[in-house]
Amino acid sequence: MVLLAGINLDFLKDCWQLARGYWFSEEKWRARGLTAVIVTLNLAYVYISVLFNNWYNRFYNALQNFDSEEFFSAQLEFSVLAGIYIIVAVYQLYLQQMLEINWRRWMTQQYLDSWLAKRTYYRLQLIENNTDNPDQRISEDLRLFTNYTLRLSLGLLRAMVTLVCFIAILWQLSGTLTVPIGGGTEVTIFGYMVWVALLYAIIGTWLTHKIGKPLTKLNFDQQRYEADFRFSLVRLRENSESIAFYGGEAREGQSFMDRFGSVLDNFWQIMKRQKQLTWFTSGYAQIAVIVPLLLAAPRYFAKEIQLGGLVQTSLAFGKVQDSLSFFVESYPLLAEWKAVVDRLTGFVGNMEKVNASTDTGATIHQAAAPALMVSDLNVDLPDGRRLLSELNLSLTAGDSLLVAGPSGSGKSTLLRTLAGLWPYAQGDITVPEGQSSLFLPQKAYLPLGTLREVLLYPGPRQPVNDEDIYMAMSLCKLEGLKEQLDRVEEWSHVLSLGEQQRIAFVRALIHKPDWLFMDEATSALDEPTERVLYKLLCEHLPNTAMISVGHRGTLNSYHKKKLTLDGVGRWSLLTL
């Protein structure tokens, strides 16, 4: 059953599934207490609106009767009401925002934990229909989800309660309307203003919906076009050097203007549609001022109600209509809320799928053995094709193995499997207990921060003093950077590829891992520098076992063993 903007029961279930955790978490009493206070403040807000509505009656009657005493007493009542209203308005918003940020903090923490746990962030990319932009789900969608859910649910509560209260008021104020229907018969309509208000609001909201509906899609498209335009600008910044070498400015400029053209075209359509909507809504709002006055006027001139009653009726009519309009005004928000909930549900579903997957990779045991033992290891591609069959291998401290083979034969995938990252593998891997490992890829990951943080990433086993860092930098021919240890930079943009690879060797010298995995870790270096770095590893890390992947023939002389893969399952192991 579709209720509005694609909102149906399944959707509400998904939404509850995403939302409920916080209200049943370790923070549940705080969350529930705050929610109760906010709901109470919302109800108080409606109650004060009712009191204000009554106040208008009293005030205008005092004016009509030239009753100065009543006039001043009404002023006093107004001051008290206004004071309470201000306090309620301030705290209702403040506490709602407090609940929103607490809830978002809790959800963000949960999502980050699940995303980082069991390397889900990595395994997510390997499954089909993988989640696009998990970063956006965690930063943007969680913010929107908490915000929209609170805004819409509290808005709905307030609109419903306001509607009920003011319908009751209008009912009392309306009196009856007697309409002659010919032949001397008359029909008496009780609470006729209520029916007019409902009819007026329903017709108005339906027309607003008809005229404004295309705006939802147009606004959605606008965001997409703006994001595309921004993305193309970011790509120029990220690839500025290559584009400058190619002299690709004209081509880039054309692509910017194409994308910006879509932004402009869509904005014109929004403007046109907005203009039609404004014609309608402003006319509708003006008529809404007169309609209740016109309808109540006969009773006023017949002296059945006083001026206060007339004003009160008109205001109550406005409130009924406002609260009914809530549903249509929330229409675009509902559509966005649905999109956010769908995206988050998809993201959570994919994380659960990854965790429940039976493709868990090779079994890795820790044992009190002196060697890394690989037994009957099969490595496959996600589509089931076999890369490596029945590999058996043993490596001890100080050993060094070079993995070779044509491009695409599965060398990097073997390293992933040994590190426990690749889920499409079967077999046993035994690693010596309590030993550490470090992975040096072709392009080392350089986190944002100071050069010191970059060098020590992801954190050394022992505290490291500056002398040791300087020493490792000098050995890796990076002494030129010693003065910049505390400088914050985007280091992956500043340093050359060869320098970045030497940074990875500094890490290896500082961390002194028991196992060092290197995937083309010297590909950007000249051969003499490569020789220096491998010599350093032999001299300074004599007990570290090395497994390297590389194409260069020069690598043979730095390793004791060579494993060659053919990419369709076969392999051979040689002693060099």
Q: Please report, as ranges, the residues that interact with ligand ATP according to CB under 6 A.
A: 126, 381-382, 405, 407-413
C-alpha count within 13 angstroms, C-beta hemisphere, residue 435: 24
555 burial (CB, 10 Å; 0-12 / 13-18 / 19+) is buried
DSSP H or E segment with residue 338: helix 331-356
394 beta partners: 373
CB of 416 to ligand ATP, least distance (A): 7
192-204 b/e (C-beta count within 10 Å ≥ 16 → b): bbbebbbebbeeb
398/408 with CB nearer ligand ATP: 408
Question: Residue 438's closest CA among 508, 523, 539, 510?
Answer: 508
309/410 with CB nearer ligand ATP: 410
User: What would the DSSP string read from start to end of 95-111?
Assistant: HHHHHHHHHHHHHHHHH
407/575 with CB nearer ligand ATP: 407
CB 421 within 8 A of CB 126: no
Question: Residue 350's closest CA among 133, 106, 25, 108?
Answer: 133
Q: How far apart are CA 158 and CA 96, in angstroms?
A: 14
109/554 with CB nearer ligand ATP: 554
Q: How far is CA 47 from the centre of its chain?
A: 37
CB of 563 to ligand ATP, least distance (A): 12
The two tokens of residue 417 are: 């499997």
- CA distances (Å), origin 25, targets 19, 37, 110: 11, 19, 11
437 beta partners: 515
Q: Which residues contact 380 (CB under 8 A, 6 or more apart)?
A: 386, 387, 424, 425
CB of 410 to ligand ATP, least distance (A): 4
Q: How far apart are CA 149 and CA 156, in angstroms?
A: 10
CB of 441 to ligand ATP, least distance (A): 10
Question: Residue 59's closest CA among 50, 70, 48, 47?
Answer: 70
CB of 430 to ligand ATP, least distance (A): 23
CB of 450 to ligand ATP, least distance (A): 31
Number of neighbours of residue 475 by Cβ within 10 angstroms: 19
292/405 with CB nearer ligand ATP: 405
Can you give the length of the chain in residues? Answer: 576
11/424 with CB nearer ligand ATP: 424
129/462 with CB nearer ligand ATP: 129
DSSP letter assigned to residue 141 = I
CB 452 within 8 A of CB 469: yes
8/357 with CB nearer ligand ATP: 357
291/388 with CB nearer ligand ATP: 388
Q: How far apart are CA 432 and CA 287, in angstroms?
A: 82
274/426 with CB nearer ligand ATP: 426
CB of 5 to ligand ATP, least distance (A): 37
Question: Residue 325's closest CA among 85, 156, 166?
Answer: 156
**What is the pairing mode between strands 545-549 and 400-404?**
parallel
The two tokens of residue 388 are: 């490596």
CB 120 within 8 A of CB 354: yes
CB of 524 to ligand ATP, least distance (A): 14
CB of 242 to ligand ATP, least distance (A): 21
How large is the angle between the packed helices 249-301 and 192-238, nearest 10 degrees? Answer: 170
CB of 408 to ligand ATP, least distance (A): 4
334/418 with CB nearer ligand ATP: 418
196/549 with CB nearer ligand ATP: 549
CB of 422 to ligand ATP, least distance (A): 8
**What is the pairing mode between strands 386-396 and 176-180?**
unpaired
319/411 with CB nearer ligand ATP: 411
CB of 114 to ligand ATP, least distance (A): 21
CB of 363 to ligand ATP, least distance (A): 21
Question: Residue 455's closest CA among 500, 498, 497, 496?
Answer: 500
CB of 567 to ligand ATP, least distance (A): 7
Q: How far apart are CA 337 and CA 405, in angstroms?
A: 51
61/413 with CB nearer ligand ATP: 413
- Greatest C-alpha distance within the chain: 117
444/473 with CB nearer ligand ATP: 444
CB of 384 to ligand ATP, least distance (A): 11
Q: How far apart are CA 161 and CA 165, in angstroms?
A: 6
Q: How far apart are CA 42 and CA 48, in angstroms?
A: 10
